[in-house]
Amino acid sequence: MAYEMKSKFIRSILDLLFNQLYNFMRVLVTGAAGLLGSNIVRVLLDQQVKPVCFVRKSTDLSTLKDLPCDFVFGSLENKEEVELAVQDCDAVIHAASIFSHPENSYDEFVKANIQGTIHVVEAVLKYNLLKFVYISTANTLAPGTKERPGIELNEFDGFHLDSNYLNSKYIAEQYVLEQVEKKGLDANIINPTFMLGAFDSKPSSGRIITYGFNKSLIFVPPGGKNFVYVGDVAKVAVRALSSKIKGEKYLVTGFNYTYKEFFELLLKQSGRKKKMVIIPKFLFYTAAYLMQFLRGKNIEFNISNAKVLGRDNYYSGKKAIRDFNYLPTPIELAIEEALDWFKKNRKLSY
């Protein structure tokens, strides 16, 4: 308890020191209703900056309910709609992307994650916006071990994983860096690890929490990953708006855990006792091969997803901690916040 109070106090002081920020009046946030986007919107509002939320007409807006935001409805695939959203803004945080869905072919990832990013960047350049912050993923950088975690200098090693999501995000990231070099785009790239926290309406990454809470028996995959509080990622994304540096990648990380360690934390935090079955790597991959053989590649548990899930995805965020003065929030607090939100929104079984 003393540690938590001390860390909260230190974080609040850092916030006050760093957040004498912005000349920005209006910031466009793509993917504003998602887990990260809705947290970014709240950070902007805390800093007296007007969020402009770019979302599809079909989007569930429950995570933005009663917030004083402006809304622009449209699709990233429509260049004219993107330009209409961008033209009256001062900066953009581009958090929208598609991650995975059984029906999404690579063409769908290209349209949303690559072409959508191109449309936003072109609009930012056309209207001379002050800053562009691109939300990518940590997995466009090669991970490491717990002893030597991955850093920003690590090259992408994910093509062999055959992941439509990772490949499309890497290509989009390279395009952004190319525009920094060729067109003078004032942009930085945020590479968050696995985000947890409130306002995960689908849920997306929070499914690991609903799975561990709702199932009577937890099957634990091999490997592990870096888990980060989504509020930390949102703060860094907003702070990147005022950065005088451009063309940099920033891993935003929390803590490295095996999946077994994470589920132990979740069970302790939720006060529930359950049995865990740790799946050996060869059996985990064999099951994915069989599922894909029987049902085709366009399923959620396919070979590429199993390869991503089953390896050690460990990272260090020292560069972002240095440049943006944030202290990683203990993942226990992220789990607690996520559990509270899921309970209020009836995502948990009792």
- The Cα diameter of the chain in Å comes to 56
Dihedral sign computed on CA atoms, order 189, 195, 198, 203: positive
d(CA 72, CA 88): 11
Residue type, 310: G
Residue type, 153: L
- Is 154 buried (19+), middle (13-18) or exposed (0-12) by CB count in 10 A? middle
Q: Which of 124, 115, 122, 118 is nearest to 88 (CA)?
A: 124
Instruction: List the chain domain ranges.
Output: 17-197+227-256+315-330
pLDDT at residue 34 in the model: 97
User: Is domain 17-197+227-256+315-330 annotated with CATH 1.20.120.530?
Assistant: no
pLDDT at residue 8 in the model: 60
pLDDT block averages, 10 residues each, the chain of length 350:
56 53 81 98 96 96 96 98 98 93 75 98 98 98 97 90 90 98 98 98 94 95 97 98 96 98 96 94 90 79 83 96 94 97 88
d(CA 215, CA 231): 27
From residue 69, give the alpha-carbon distance in Å to each of 34, 45, 48, 52: 15, 9, 11, 6
- For the chain, state the CA radius of gyration: 20
Give the count of beta carbons closer than 10 Å to the beta carbon of residue 278. Answer: 14
From residue 285, give the alpha-carbon distance in Å to each of 64, 140, 166: 39, 22, 19
Distance between alpha carbon 224 and the CA centroid of its chain, in Å?
17
Distance between alpha carbon 246 and the CA centroid of its chain, in Å?
20
Distance between alpha carbon 120 and the CA centroid of its chain, in Å?
18
- Counting DSSP H helices and E strands in the chain, the numbers are 13, 13
Strand blocks (E) in the chain: 26-30, 50-55, 70-73, 91-94, 131-135, 187-192, 194-196, 217-220, 224-229, 249-252, 255-258, 275-278, 312-313
Distance between alpha carbon 261 and the CA centroid of its chain, in Å?
21
Tokens describing residue 283: 């059996």
Judged by DSSP in three states, 205 sits in: coil
What DSSP string runs through 278-336? EPPHHHHHHHHHHHHHHH-SSSSS-HHHHHHHHSEEBB--HHHHHHH---PPPHHHHHH
Residue written as token pair 């807006």: 61
pLDDT at residue 7 in the model: 59
pTM, full prediction:
0.91
Tokens describing residue 210: 């609903």
Residue type, 110: V
